[in-house]
Structure 1
């Protein structure tokens, strides 16, 4: 069977061209108006279908004809797009000992099995019980910043808040959390020693699994140990480590960037901030709107067509890879009237909200935790305190890529005055 074969003269869009950096919303709108599916170049030279419209992205994410595990495509040979991207990082062979099944790269019953293991830690009741602790951490960090009078909102508030919350949920001891944060910062830094950082994190988690087997606690690591010991679950140590690394990575970087982006959006929309301060009960809706506008998640992971078909009026061939543009979906005027405007009173219909958490079976398991953290951060930064001011202009902000030739691009800092 061919591998992601396309016509050599087929027009291909580069998402790395300047227009997508200078005006991503406008550039994606032009693609969305042009076609529901557009061929784009992917790091490594492959060509992928970019799905541009919200309705079609939801369908791809929920349609069993599309899979995230390319080995489930009949007759497919060769690595997946994700594996090709990882290969460009030249990782150590030692890392293969640590990684088992990946929640984001499994389909069907394999995915259900892994998600079921994690589900008890992410019930709405369990997440809501974390609120007092999240509020305590947030208040302590802001008190420190306020005493200084100025600082970096990313590195002195958002990053320590999110790493502390996910580490406590997982069961990583307080004394070890600064090292975990250091590893996670290096994990997405193309200039850092990616392999050493990831090896360090995985080695620490392996040791922690041993510790919790000897002394169980009320944390996710202990839950994973129980699953490893249960005959009917069949969870390996490598599976447990892979699941934990995925959770830490997703919870840390995405939430850091969301918090600082939300502050920027509200500062640039003082009328919306005034509305929110006048009616703090609108905070959950404001979080949803800010998640729509301020998420750093640009594209969904690739899905692969299991057979030839027509999708959104476009012929798709078996083995073709499709990725949904989350940014395009979140600004799709078919779902969000005046999408470029921040509107904290926006009330999408059920099933028609933003796609920053994905959709379908692979919708982010930590969505409730992200909404809680985001709500507490906005409440403490912009409602309970009204003195936080961004100390630089938008043009002075700097970003860094998280992988060679790939997105998302994350802020390097956000200087503020208190």
Structure 2
């Protein structure tokens, strides 16, 4: 079966994709083969015969040169081998679990502050009034920059988010303008930390510039720009998708408000069934044969061949979870929303923590929330999410200290 991933009308969570999964563990696409079942997806993401497949994304979309292409090839997403290992090793200390966990009270206060601004009104455009400022201000907190800068950071991040769109070739001027703006801003922040180090992520990473095998100034700039845009964009989108899913399951929304300790489980369950990153790409480093762990026909991949792992199809595969219906109390196999293997998302704990704070708080303070119309959504392919998602609810029902 063939799935046209280049078609913006294709919904990769649709019954058509499920039907393809029933017929075979993989499908053909214009961008290589798509893996559709859970065990095969897990195996591919950890198979060292593949590299991260996004490195060729600009060339595949007619953008072989220029600032965007150059920057893209230097991000951690595109690096491999010793270069990837060195840069990742230097970035890891900035994402210590205890450091992020210690920020939880600030995340909680921020979420309440944002809800307070619209609670008495009984309506909210969720993306503009909660998801975007919440995600952008958390990035500012993480980087140790003034939270008042969040609108500009969010604007740059939003435009850089077009890097993952399936029409990226037409978005290059917008992307490169944002790239120049955010890069210049990051340079100023790094210069400030070199003069006056603080207890923040930028200072931690800036200190590596003086190490014999530390980050170069260019590597630091590339890393911080990528962190700022990817961290904001994906969290904002995933929050919108989480609300979409939870409001379609009223019993789960109500349960989450009553049992906030289910926040971490809710995050995992939402990312299993409605991920913002709808596919993860791998490129074969050699001619190889992929065996289906489920016993299906093997798949031959030539060197340079592309394999797309479809996150939703794998996450809802009945062969891996007999009852794949949405349930925030269920224990599931790990989803693929943050990737896997050596390219597993470096900032996953930040995203998991801030969403696990926000979702129960929203469910408690807006217990009868419901969509106010269909909203406006990106194509359900590539990186997806809401552009606009209006919500209504009874004003003042869920008090902050409820």
Judge same fold: TM > 0.5, yes or no: yes
| TM-superposed deviation, 1:132 | 0.7
| TM-superposed deviation, 1:151 | 2.2
Indicate yes or no: 2:304 matched with 1:325: no
Q: Is the 8 A contact 1:399 1:412 kept in 2?
A: yes
| Corresponding residue for residue 107 of structure 1 | 80
Q: Provide the TM-score with structure 2 as the length reference.
A: 0.86
| TM-superposed deviation, 1:320 | 1.5
| TM-superposed deviation, 1:83 | 2.9
Structure 1 gap ranges (5+): 1-10, 43-47, 71-79
Indicate yes or no: 2:30 matched with 1:41: yes
| Corresponding residue for residue 299 of structure 2 | 314
| Corresponding residue for residue 138 of structure 2 | 165
3-state SS of 2:300 partner: strand
Q: Is the 8 A contact 1:100 1:238 kept in 2?
A: no
Between the aligned partners of 2:26 and 2:99, the Cα distance in structure 1 is 40
How many residues are matched? Answer: 380
| Structural RMSD (CA) | 2.6
Deviations 1:128-166 (A, max 9, x none): 101011111111000001133322111110100010101
| Corresponding residue for residue 237 of structure 1 | 217
Matches within 5 A, 1:3-402: 12-17=2-7, 20-21=10-11, 24-42=13-31, 48-68=32-52, 81-85=56-60, 87-88=62-63, 93-94=66-67, 101-188=74-161, 193-233=174-214, 235-312=215-292, 313-339=298-324, 341-348=325-332, 352-392=333-373, 396-400=374-378
| Corresponding residue for residue 75 of structure 1 | none
| TM-superposed deviation, 1:298 | 0.7
Between the aligned partners of 1:16 and 1:413, the Cα distance in structure 2 is 23
Between the aligned partners of 1:13 and 1:58, the Cα distance in structure 2 is 20
Q: Is the 8 A contact 1:68 1:302 kept in 2?
A: yes
3-state SS of 2:382 partner: strand
Between the aligned partners of 2:285 and 2:22, the Cα distance in structure 1 is 24
Q: Provide the TM-score with structure 1 as the length reference.
A: 0.83
Between the aligned partners of 1:24 and 1:100, the Cα distance in structure 2 is 29
Between the aligned partners of 2:144 and 2:73, the Cα distance in structure 1 is 20
Alignment CA distance shift 1:386-1:13 (3 Å): closer
Q: Is the 8 A contact 1:391 1:415 kept in 2?
A: yes
| TM-superposed deviation, 1:171 | 2.5
Structure 2 gap ranges (5+): 163-169, 293-297, 394-402
Alignment CA distance shift 1:280-1:136 (3 Å): closer
Deviations 1:372-409 (A, max 9, x none): 111111111102442533222xxx3222359xxx6223
Q: Is the 8 A contact 1:69 1:106 kept in 2?
A: no
3-state SS of 1:319 partner: coil
Between the aligned partners of 2:39 and 2:220, the Cα distance in structure 1 is 34
Alignment CA distance shift 1:174-1:281 (3 Å): closer
3-state SS of 1:24 partner: coil
Between the aligned partners of 1:317 and 1:98, the Cα distance in structure 2 is 27
Between the aligned partners of 2:3 and 2:275, the Cα distance in structure 1 is 23
Alignment CA distance shift 1:69-1:12 (3 Å): closer
Q: Is the 8 A contact 1:99 1:239 kept in 2?
A: no
| TM-superposed deviation, 1:309 | 3.2
Between the aligned partners of 1:205 and 1:343, the Cα distance in structure 2 is 41
Q: Is the 8 A contact 1:98 1:241 kept in 2?
A: no
| TM-superposed deviation, 1:354 | 1.2
Between the aligned partners of 1:154 and 1:114, the Cα distance in structure 2 is 33
| Corresponding residue for residue 167 of structure 2 | none
